[in-house]
Amino acid sequence: MPMYKSPNVHGHGMNCGEHALQNGEVDPSLKALEERQDEVLRRLYELKATVDGFAKTVTTPDADLDASTPSPGPAESVFKGTADLDSLLGKDLGALRDIVINANPARPPLSLLVLHALLCQRYQVLSSVHVHSSVSAVPPPLLSCLGPRHIDSYARQRFQLGFTLIWKDVSELQMKFSTQSMCPIEGEANVARFLFRLLGAEPQDPAAATQMDCWIDKAVFQLSEGGSKDRAAVLRSLNAALGRSPWLLGQEFSLADIVCACFVLRAGQTTSAPVNVQRWLKSCQNLGHFDCVYPFLQ
């Protein structure tokens, strides 16, 4: 017989959950709670993995390209690299991967027309031009700026890539690809960078890549948006750089040349440009990729 009576933990006041535990069963509400906790933890791990993946991509932009290829060879007019479309554009689900570009007819994106021509050399591209209802009419040259309609255009799935240009009343040029997983890319230069990546011709060397970005930014902020003083300054830097090498990055033609040449041409007054710049523009013209641009220059 105990010396004192202790409260009976197995008594009436106990709730059925505790009672059940005594028997080895699990209270359903507790089980649900545990399951929820597991689910939340699992999602947290997934998110962490995704963010880690992004961090990796951001810090090493060329992480998925083979860094063991040799440095640039002799000047070539056609990009010979290859790009992994699946990793850049997402898995091929058996349907046309369509890149949509919304541009204002008042400011045709000349560098994108050049890039389109280059893409057509590399891939089977289905090109279409549409006029959005926000614009009432568009001059005919803008309707045929991507060239004649491909004879197989009735069978969309035969193409690797779609290039859909929509003339629309937008303040800023905009590119859309996979609206579920990608936010729109804005600005001609940024879209140009994206399209250039599809050609697999990005400079491997980080210094060269940075220099390329630098020239592109100069074109956008000073040539296009800057005043006449800024424009003059850019033309002088271009002249200086082109005195040392045939192309802006050295021996190899790159996106920097495409974007800067287009912006210089669009600004006009190319006959009064410095000597090296004029020579360089002539070289660009000789490559043949700029033919699509000339109808839009004043």
Residue 212 exposed, middle or buried by CB count within 10 Å (0-12, 13-18, 19+): buried
C-alpha to C-alpha distance for 113 and 119, rounded to whole angstroms? 10
C-alpha to C-alpha distance for 168 and 190, rounded to whole angstroms? 18
Q: Does 132 bind another protein (CB under 8 A)?
A: yes
Of the candidate spans 18-26, 151-159, 250-258, 277-285, the one that interacts with another protein by CB under 8 A turns out to be 151-159
Of the candidate spans 2-10, 58-66, 160-168, 233-241, the one that interacts with another protein by CB under 8 A turns out to be 160-168
Q: Does 211 bind another protein (CB under 8 A)?
A: no
Q: Does 100 bind another protein (CB under 8 A)?
A: yes
Q: Does 150 bind another protein (CB under 8 A)?
A: no
Angle subtended at Cα 209 by Cα 203 and Cα 215, rounded to the nearest 5 degrees: 120
Q: Does 50 bind another protein (CB under 8 A)?
A: no
Exactly one of 68, 69, 179, 228 binds another protein (CB under 8 A); that residue is 179
| Residue pair 173/104 in contact by the 8 Å Cβ criterion | yes
Exactly one of 94, 140, 148, 227 binds another protein (CB under 8 A); that residue is 94
**CA 138 from centre of chain:** 27
Exactly one of 171, 180, 269, 272 binds another protein (CB under 8 A); that residue is 180
Of the candidate spans 112-120, 178-186, 224-232, 249-257, the one that interacts with another protein by CB under 8 A turns out to be 178-186
C-alpha to C-alpha distance for 261 and 257, rounded to whole angstroms? 6
Q: Does 181 bind another protein (CB under 8 A)?
A: yes
Could you give the string, one character per residue 237-256, with x where binding to another protein holds by CB under 8 A and - elsewhere?
A: --------------------
C-alpha to C-alpha distance for 92 and 95, rounded to whole angstroms? 7
In the complex with another protein, the residue whose CB is nearer, 138 or 292, is 138
- For 45, residues 6+ apart whose C-beta sits below 8 A from its C-beta are none
C-alpha to C-alpha distance for 231 and 247, rounded to whole angstroms? 19
**Three-class SS of residue 186?**
strand
What tokens appear for 232 in the block? 């003059």
C-alpha to C-alpha distance for 24 and 175, rounded to whole angstroms? 60
User: Considering the complex, what minimum distance in angstroms separates the CB of residue 155 from another protein?
Assistant: 8
Exactly one of 62, 104, 160, 164 binds another protein (CB under 8 A); that residue is 164
Token pair 């850019």: residue: 234
User: Considering the complex, what minimum distance in angstroms separates the CB of residue 178 from another protein?
Assistant: 7
Q: Which residues bind another protein (CB under 8 A)?
A: 90, 93-96, 98, 100, 102, 128, 130-134, 136, 154, 156-157, 164, 166, 168, 176, 178-181
